Chains A and B, each alone.
Chain A
Amino acid sequence: MSAHEPHLPLTPLSMAVLLMVSEEARHGYAIRQELEGRGPDGVPLGTSSLYAALRRLSDEGLIEEVPDPTDARRRSYRITDEGREVARAEALRMARVAGRARDAHLVTGPELAGEAGLA
């Protein structure tokens, strides 16, 4: 059992948030706008569920809060090293699930590659 397994599987929202803050720190509102604006892949969000997810990820050490130097009430969020490892483990877990779906002839290899942007 890997060190990250207690975190897995991540909820779709948790994974989406980790991916969102993996490149740069973002404010909660920016995370929400980005997640909701992804068309068919968008994640419909409410204020309460987003902040509950941010609180949980923060408590688990997967993201950290970055205070705003100009306003103590505002903060942005960024991924931690632990969060990066967990997101990576989740991505590999999802890839294994996709591989099993291919083995079961539910999808084809080219379809998977196309969806993953690897074609």
Chain B
Amino acid sequence: LPAYPPLPEDLVEFAHGGRSLLVGTCNKERLPDCVRAMGVRVWPDACRLTVILPAATGATSIANLRDNPKIALTLSHIPTHRTIQIKGKVLAIREGTEEDRELAIRYRELFIPEIAWAGMPATTTRRLGVWPCFAIDVEIDVVFSQTPGPVAGAKMPLEGAS
């Protein structure tokens, strides 16, 4: 059974929007890598999720995760800088399915208006590589607030947490 309480509904909704998604990994030599993810699917139990990494850019991160299955996933709403970071353990690394490809394409469309705040036109964002991709299943360990300011780094209360 998952060790941590589930993500509350508002954070599930937040994760399923077109957030800016960063995946942090490192190998056993503690050499880190940071890459943009192209979609998140929170599982119905809200204790696990799947994150999509394009194969073209994710090779180092995938190698890191096979070496050290610890993952950081940062989700940020660009217009307001509201940001959370999820830390977790990798349960599985799979080659992306058709369902994952559809998720990545859907995510990219949702990301278009968010990154437009940084001046990026839709025609450019639509060229972000999504396929082929890896799907990484993750068990959530802990969630931190990362909105810039005095409470950045504080552990977020989750549903059922005491």
Partners in one complex: no
Q: Which residues of A contact B (CB under 8 A)?
A: none
- The residues of B with any CB-CB pair to A shorter than 8 Å are none
